[in-house]
Structure 1
Amino acid sequence: MAEKKKTDIDLPFFKIREDEEGTFVKVGPIEVVEKTGQEAKVKFGPLRISDSGVKYEPALNGRLEGMAWATFFILIGCVWLFESMYDFNLRGFIPIGIGVIFLSLNYIRSRVGIEMSSFTIVLGLVAIVYGILERFFEDVELLPLLGIAVGVYLIFVFGREASK
């Protein structure tokens, strides 16, 4: 009976060693799976890497949105804490932060292969504009800005449909 070869993979921060059967290795967040008759797969967090390419778990978008919500609550808490401790008004920082969170969420979606939401892109841009206007001007109405945002969004949506 031929002796089975073991595969050792040396990565910069850790090493992967093959198990006794030679079919499964898991070190930290990385899981290497090789099934007979199927292509070898490497699971690294939410990513699935194989010979056919890199795929993401469908639940990744939900996790990203959850992290965006967590960032939102951290932002709110930090602004309120700073305002109460130092008796200083940070007018406009929350809308700017919300806009940055929306745009960052869509940037991350684009980097991992998830379709971006054009609606949250437009809302993110409107939130940043509103925050800047609120920071430097006393009275800024939100309703006209939301009307402009909905109009811009509809132009993009119908423009895409017309180009198909």
Structure 2
Amino acid sequence: MERLLLTLLVFALFALGVYGMWRGWRRQARAQSVRIPPFPQRPADPGEPELEAAGLYAATTNAGHWQQRVVTRGAGLRGRATLRLYPGGVEVDRAGAPGFWIPRESITDVTTAKGMAGKVMGTASLLVFTWRVGDVELDTGFRGDDLGVYPQWINKVKGGAQV
């Protein structure tokens, strides 16, 4: 009987912890939805993609603060994605989550990084786009399956954006 009570207590503490994390995530999403405008949607006809890369969408964070994950509007969910560069911007097409569009004129920088929002690698294996939506500057990280295409992405994006 004593073991059963101890097991129930541990389970209750675990459930309370999960509930607290869920509440915190929702509270953060509500607060961010006021500060961060909705992400742009992909235009109906963006043209032909100049570059395409498959990989992992790591996160979107507040620019310069690699641990401050943006969780509003589904942006906090890490998962498989395809990145496409069009003449007008970059499409982040996420599997099982809402994708979004980064207009080329809103991109302020593109670089590589070692980590973002809990995803840390030993090398600079994240492609990071710094961009503006409204008055807010964000960093969006993507880890491509082929890291060798990063210089091509950086050159193409910086060549067409006001960086």
Larger radius of gyration: 1
TM-score, normalised by the number of residues in structure 1? 0.25
Q: Which has the higher contact order (CA 8 A, sep 6+)?
A: 2
TM-score, normalised by the number of residues in structure 2? 0.25
- Which structure has the highest helix share of the two? 1
- Which structure has the highest strand share of the two? 2
